[in-house]
Amino acid sequence: MQLFTRKETADRLRVSLDTLERLASSGRLRPCRIGRLVRFSEDTINEFIHSCQSPPPDVA
């Protein structure tokens, strides 16, 4: 399991650090806390990305 810093996670999601903090505070993106360090797992990031994707439109 690979862990990413806040900056790395924000860059990967293409959001600001403020937005990343809001996502973590709201529970939409759960951080791993190791003492005072905050990290995000690759699995958590991928789950968040997939949860944000809308389903493909129905083709008639």
Q: According to the model, what pLDDT value does residue 55 have?
A: 74
Q: What is the pLDDT of residues 25-39, one digit of tens each?
A: 999 999 999 999 999
Q: What is the arithmetic mean of pLDDT over 17-30?
A: 96
Q: According to the model, what pLDDT value does residue 60 have?
A: 63
Q: Where are the domains of the chain?
A: 3-52
| Helices assigned H by DSSP within 1-60 | 6-13, 17-26, 42-52
Residue type, 43: D
Q: According to the model, what pLDDT value does residue 59 have?
A: 67
CB neighbour class for 31 (10 Å; exposed up to 12, middle 13-18, buried from 19) = buried
- Using the predicted structure, report yes or no on whether residue 41 has a pLDDT greater than 90: yes
Q: According to the model, what pLDDT value does residue 16 have?
A: 97
Q: What percentage of the chain exceeds 70 in pLDDT?
A: 97
